[in-house]
Structure formats: structure tokens, C-alpha cells
Amino acid sequence: MINHDEAAPRVWRVDALCRALADTLNARFNPVRVTGELSGFSKAASGHCYFSLKDQDAQIRCAMFKRAASQLDFAPRDGELVEVSGRLDIYGPRGDLQLIVESMRKQGQGNLFEEFVRLKNRLESRGLFAQERKRALPLMPRGIGLITSLGAAALHDVATALRRRVPHIPVVLAPASVQGGNAPAELIRALQALLARSADMDGAGTPLDVILLVRGGGSMEDLWAFNDEALAIALSESPIPVVSGVGHETDFTIADFVADVRAPTPTAAAELVATTTTTCLAAIDLMQERLSAAVQRQLDTQAQRLDRVATRAGRPSGVVVGHSLRLHQVAHQLQVAQQAHLLEARRQHEASALKFSDGVHTLGRQAHERLDQSALRLRLLDPTLVLQRGYAWLADAQGATVISVRQAGPGDVITATLADGTVDMAVHAVHEN
């Protein structure tokens, strides 16, 4: 017997069906590359472009948004044969299948794309793109390596960004061609030169903690040097993290997939490794505040311990003196630690931190003043000061402290400790209050 409920097809809402179709297209086809003839090409006032791609038997509607259209290096015309890359999608409001075009070039570059895909799949199967092998970038690198062409606009863009954000960090340039048949070998030699320089430092100079590999945008042929298998392997074996900033945001190369981090542009690559001076100075200020607060907390804690000891002792004694010395030692250790941390921070950011030196010195002076005040309070508890005011500490023949008339009798010898020495006294009579 047939269960009609189980055999009935699922009932979809229109928007849910469109989203499901879009997800299926994305998983099954995207990204795609299509060749065809331009038809009905138009550019809206918004900068977006709309057209169809067709051949003898079929056509597909296309949309190219302003950001991608601005990267075109030619003016598309109806009837022109082109090759586009992008992703298939469902335009929900009309339920239309459309191709969102992310790049377009004149037909004839398809063979390069096929070669790119084959190399990408081969290297991916070897694990060169695995996320687990990629490393985080250093927050504040001691030195930055830069690989690009001396004549490239990317060199100016990166240098400007680094000079603006981190003028105190040294940059080592390893020039290389970024286009042409010799470019892959030159890029590999430049990388090896930077790695060799960093490995041979032996404590001299500044080590490199990150390397930037950059060039400006261009066609697939222009960027082809960064799709070289030998270069990809060299990048994957680099012991220093590499940031790839090749082309525009829509451009992808094998170097982008292998690098530890991919930046959309050369300038963005520079900004990824350049924590601003303002941020560094703010970190120094925060560290100063925390160190000062830690010193004050330790002083308060030790002062409380001293008060409790003094209360239990009942009068100034050697125990109080011992705690006083310990408090001075702790305060000195904290002061030394604070100064060591501040000196190290100032050494790293000396060029930028000079403008804040007055504030840092003021905080240091305040810390010293608080230490001096605490030391003065401790000196006031010094038992020798009590003796100088005319008091004496009495002890019997066994050295025990005498605090009551019941501890002495006629004929007993009592030693009185005064501010400048001791006096032995004999008891003639005892009178109780």
C-alpha cells in the first residue's frame, strides 16, 4: 500500500527555493569562467554594467558591478568575443539565473586559466594551501623584508604606507622583476637573499620577522610570474611569514594561496604588518599605569602587614625592624622591575615615544614620591626613635623583656637599653600601683 504522505514532494516557498538553487549553483559550479559574445551591453549611472553572453545556441544574463567594472582595461562593445570569470547566482526578485562577472578580458586567455587551475589543484593536493601550516603575523616586527620591482608603483605605495605608520621599523628591499619570463627565478632569488640575510645576522643588525611580496594589478599574463610552481614551493618553505599583495582585490594568484596571509592590494599588505606608532605608545602608557598600580598595591599590602605585626608586638621591637627592611627590599625590587620594563619599551619605540617623555617622567617622579613617603612612615616606627625620646627597654638577667613590676624584686639586676647604650641597674624596692 502506498503512503501518499511520504510520496508527496516537498512544498517550497519561492524565496527558499531560490536560495537553495543559488547554494547549489555555488557549490557545484563556482567559480566559473565563460567565453562568449557580448550582447546588449549597457552601463548604468551607478557604474554597474549589464549584458548577455551568447553563442550560437544559448545565452546567459550577466551583471558586472561597479567595483569590478572599474578594473577593465578596455571598453566592451556588443559583438566582441570575451572571456569572463565570476559566479552563478539566482536573482531572487525575478527568479533569473545570472552570472555575476568579477573580471573580463578579450578572448584568448582561456589556456592560461586552465593551466592555473591545474597547478592550483596539484599544489592544493600536496597541502601547500592548508590553513594549519599558515602562521600568524608578528604584532610588532623588528624588521620587514620587501620583494618587488624597483620600477613598480607598488614599491611607492608600500614605502609610503610603512613610512606613515611605522617609520621606526627598518625595511630591507630585495628587488626582482615582477613580470616576464625571468621574473619567477628573480623572485625566488630575492626571497632566498632575504632569508639568508636573516639567518646570518649573528646578533648584528636587525632581523626580519615578516616578508612582503607585492606588485600592482594587471592582466593574467601580467601576473603570471606569481603562478610559478617553483616560486610556490619556495614560499611554502620560507621560515619567515610571507604576506602576498599581488594585483587588485579581484586578482588571485598561486602565491596568494601559498602565502601565510593574502592582502587584496600592496598597500593593504603593508598595513597588515604595520601597527601604528599611536597604538604602540598607547600600549606603553597602559603598561606604565599597570606597573604603577602594581607598585602601589604592593606598598599598601606591605604596610598592612607591618601594621598587624606592630599591633601584635605591642611595642617597637626587632620584628618591626625586620619587616621594615623587607618592605624596603620589595619596594626597591618593584622599582627596578618597573624601570626595566619601561626602558625596554622606550628602546623599541624611542623615535615615537619622545613626545610623551614628560608624562612618563612625571609618573616616575610620582612613584618615587610615594616610595619616599612610605619610607618616612616606616622610619617613624623605628624603635630607636622611641628610645631617643627618653624611653628605655628593660630586660632581666636572662634577657627577657620586663614590662611589669611583678617581674622584678629587690636585689634583681635589670639592664636598661637607652638610645646610646645600656645601663645595668639593681632593684632596691618594688611598688605596685
**Residue 85 carries which side chain, given as an amino acid letter?**
S
What share of the chain in percent tops pLDDT 70?
85
pLDDT band, residue 360 (cuts 50/70/90): very low
More confident residue, 260 or 340: 260
DSSP percent split of the chain into helix, strand, coil, nearest 5: 45, 20, 35
**Cβ pair 393, 425 in contact under 8 A:** no
**Cβ pair 294, 334 in contact under 8 A:** yes
Name the helix (H) or strand (E) containing 62. Answer: strand 59-64
**Cβ pair 251, 222 in contact under 8 A:** no
For the full predicted model, state whether its pTM sits above 0.85.
no
**Once rounded to an integer, what is the mean pLDDT over residues 187-211?**
83
**Digit-coded pLDDT (tens) for 400-429:** 888 888 888 888 888 888 878 888 888 887
What is the chain's mean pLDDT, rounded? 82
Q: Nine-digit cell at 270?
A: 603593508
Question: Which of 3-7, 193-197, 249-253 is predicted with the least confidence, judged by mean pLDDT?
Answer: 3-7
**Once rounded to an integer, what is the mean pLDDT over residues 171-194?**
94
The stretches of 89-165 forming alpha helices (DSSP H) are: 110-125, 153-165
Name the helix (H) or strand (E) containing 360. Answer: helix 357-380
Whole-number pLDDT of residue 349: 66
**Cβ pair 174, 190 in contact under 8 A:** yes
**Once rounded to an integer, what is the mean pLDDT over residues 260-287?**
84
**Once rounded to an integer, what is the mean pLDDT over residues 174-192?**
94
**Cβ pair 243, 263 in contact under 8 A:** yes
| Confidence check: pLDDT of 182 > 70 | yes
**Digit-coded pLDDT (tens) for 94-153:** 767 888 899 988 775 556 777 888 999 999 999 999 999 999 998 889 899 999 999 888
**Digit-coded pLDDT (tens) for 24-79:** 777 777 788 888 888 889 988 988 999 999 888 888 899 999 898 988 888 888 87
- Report the relative pairing of strands 59-64 and 49-54 from DSSP bridges: antiparallel
More confident residue, 121 or 381: 121
CA-to-CA distance for 250 and 260, rounded, in angstroms?
18
Whole-number pLDDT of residue 121: 93
CA-to-CA distance for 218 and 235, rounded, in angstroms?
22
Whole-number pLDDT of residue 319: 57
Measured CA to CA in angstroms, residue 2 lies from 9, 10, 11, 45 at distances of: 14, 17, 19, 59
